[in-house]
Amino acid sequence: MAARREGTKTLVPGMPQNIYDQTDFFLGYSRLQRSVLGLAGAPEWPALRAMLPPLSGLRVLDLGCGFGAFARWAREAGAVSVLGVDLSENMLARARAETHDAAVVYRRGDIEQLELDADSFDVVYSSLALHYVANLAAVCALVRRVLTAGGAFVFSVEHPVFTAPRHPVWQRDAAGVAAWPLNHYLDESARVTDWIAPGVVKQHRCIATYVNTLLDHGMRLTRLVEWAPDATLIAHHPDWADEPHRPPFLLIGAQRP
């Protein structure tokens, strides 16, 4: 559920690419648990939801809205309006088909170059989209500008220890204990991985860069969550047993003062 931009040098600068509109990738993505089940299929969702303010009466912006699951939930939770932005026509087509609510608007756009009115949203939300974005500073500047005073910015990204390695494959010692081969952590640049389709490009950046870019744009940090499934989730999904060794997701809460 994410707008994205290819980070490779062969692409035209400033021309966002969008793997979610490549048919093979889109079909594969559509079969993921979180695509089929929506928020109920995203195990980190309860933790992210807990970082949101009560949405009653608030105007919400969703950066990388995907199929619109969050937009529809936000309306059920009392938001007066939701603007969902995504780069993918495929995602937006399904979002529009599944949403029957005049207070939810979907717009195609590159979240690094959005034009929106200042002080026009009370909450900005983004789920697993910003690790595709090359220019995080532009997004933080946008969020700071469009949020009202006291407004919240709550987002998730793939955790930097997850995105850093050049060969992200679990290693096992003789006793079968898993270890994640962390390297290149401080090398902030594109990572090309095979996820659903070969050659998916994500932007690796450090935790400190996520945090300091927010601070440098006048935001206040309110919460940091390094998320992995807990014992209850693992009991239902034994294949997630290694995840707590290196959290797959980083959740960040911030506020415009």
Based on CB atoms, which residue is closest to a second copy, 151 or 165? 165
Based on CB atoms, which residue is closest to a second copy, 8 or 222? 222
In whole angstroms, the minimum distance from the beta carbon of 205 to a second copy comes to 11
How far apart, in whole angstroms, are the C-alpha atoms of residue 97 and residue 64? Answer: 17
Non-local CB neighbours of 178 within 8 Å, separated by 6+ positions: 170, 171, 172, 242, 245
Based on CB atoms, which residue is closest to a second copy, 142 or 161? 161
Q: In terms of Cα–Cα distance, which of 108, 96, 42 is closest to 72?
A: 96
In whole angstroms, the minimum distance from the beta carbon of 174 to a second copy comes to 11
**Chain center to CA of 103:** 23
Based on CB atoms, which residue is closest to a second copy, 10 or 232? 232
How far apart, in whole angstroms, are the C-alpha atoms of residue 108 and residue 92? Answer: 7
In whole angstroms, the minimum distance from the beta carbon of 187 to a second copy comes to 7
Contact 241, 194 (CB under 8 A): no
Per the structure block, which two tokens stand in for 88? 């993918």
**Chain center to CA of 119:** 22
Q: Beta strand 190-195 with 197-203: parallel, antiparallel or unpaired? A: antiparallel
In whole angstroms, the minimum distance from the beta carbon of 177 to a second copy comes to 7
In whole angstroms, the minimum distance from the beta carbon of 130 to a second copy comes to 17
How far apart, in whole angstroms, are the C-alpha atoms of residue 114 and residue 14? Answer: 13
Based on CB atoms, which residue is closest to a second copy, 51 or 61? 51
DSSP letter, residue 21: G
**In residues, how long is the chain?**
257
Based on CB atoms, which residue is closest to a second copy, 14 or 257? 257
CA angle centred on 113, ends 14 and 105, rounded to 5°: 130
Based on CB atoms, which residue is closest to a second copy, 84 or 253? 253
**Chain center to CA of 128:** 2
How far apart, in whole angstroms, are the C-alpha atoms of residue 48 and residue 70? Answer: 11
Q: Which residues bind a second copy (CB under 8 A)?
A: 161, 165-167, 171, 173, 177-187, 206-208, 211-212, 215, 220-226, 228, 244-247
In whole angstroms, the minimum distance from the beta carbon of 112 to a second copy comes to 23
In whole angstroms, the minimum distance from the beta carbon of 121 to a second copy comes to 23
